[in-house]
Structure 1
Amino acid sequence: MVEELRDGKQISAETVVLDDEDIRIAAITRTVAGPLPARQAVRHCVFAHDTLLHHPVIRQVVSRTVRALGITLGVLSVRMRLTPRGPRVLDVAGHIADDLIPLLVKRATGIDLPSAAADLATGRTPSLAATRQRAAAIQFLYPSATGSLRRLTVHPHADRHPHLDRIALTRHPGDHVTSASQATPDDRIAHIVALGPDSPACHSALDQIAQYIHADIMPTPGEPPRADRERHLYAWAADCRR
Structure 2
Amino acid sequence: MTLTRPDDKPLLLIITSGLRRYREYLLASIAGRYRVHLIDATAPTWELPYLSGHSVVPDTGAGPVLAAAREVAARQPVAGVMSWHEEHIVQAALVAGELGLPGTPPDAVRRCRDKYATRTALAEADLPQPEFALAGSLEEALAAADKLGWPVVIKPRAAGGSQGVVLVHDADELADQFAATRDVHVPHNPDFAELVLVEEYLDAPEVSVDAVVREGRVTPLFVGRKEVGFPPYFEETGHRVSADDPLLHDPQALRLLTGIHRALGVTDGWTHTELRLTAEGPKLIEVNGRVGGDLIPYLGLRATGTDPGLAAADVACGAEPDTAPRRDAHAAIRFFYPPADDTRIAALDFDRTELPAAIDLLEPLVGPGDVVSPPRKGLIDGRIALATAVADTAAECAAAIDHAARALRLTVEGS
SS of aligned partner of 1:71:
coil
Structure 1 Cα separation of the partners of residues 223 and 404 of structure 2: 24
1:202 corresponds to which of 397, 400, 410: 397
1:40 corresponds to which of 214, 217, 235: 235
Q: Deviations over 1:50-87 (max 9, x none)?
A: 11111111111111111111011111111111122321
Do structure 1's residue 63 and structure 2's residue 222 form an aligned pair? no
Percent identity, aligned pairs only, is 32
SS of aligned partner of 2:360:
strand
Structure 2 Cα separation of the partners of residues 179 and 93 of structure 1: 25
In the alignment, which residue of structure 1 is the partner of 2:327?
A: 132
1:148 corresponds to which of 344, 357, 375: 344
Alignment RMSD: 1.7
| Superposition TM-score, scaled by structure 1 size | 0.85
2:295 corresponds to which of 86, 97, 100: 100
In the alignment, which residue of structure 1 is the partner of 2:359?
A: 164
Q: 1:18: how far off?
A: 1.3
Q: Deviations over 1:13-52 (max 9, x none)?
A: 11111112x2111121111001213321111111001111
Q: 1:196: how far off?
A: 0.9
Q: 1:156: how far off?
A: 2.9
Conserved 8 A contact 1:143-1:188: yes
SS of aligned partner of 1:97:
coil
Question: Which amino acid in structure 1 is aligned with residue 308 of structure 2?
Answer: L
| Gaps in structure 1 of 5+ consecutive residues | 220-226, 228-242
Residues matched between the structures, number: 218
Structure ID, larger Rg = 2
Conserved 8 A contact 1:38-1:182: no
Structure 2 Cα separation of the partners of residues 3 and 113 of structure 1: 33
Counting only pairs closer than 5 Å after superposition, residues 59-98 of structure 1 correspond to structure 2 as 59-98=254-293
In the alignment, which residue of structure 2 is the partner of 1:53?
A: 248
Conserved 8 A contact 1:38-1:183: no
Structure 2 Cα separation of the partners of residues 181 and 200 of structure 1: 31
Higher RCO (CA 8 Å, separation ≥ 6 residues) = 1
Structure 1 Cα separation of the partners of residues 279 and 346 of structure 2: 44
Change (3 A) 1:210 1:61: same
Structure 1 Cα separation of the partners of residues 305 and 275 of structure 2: 24
In the alignment, which residue of structure 2 is the partner of 1:14?
A: 210
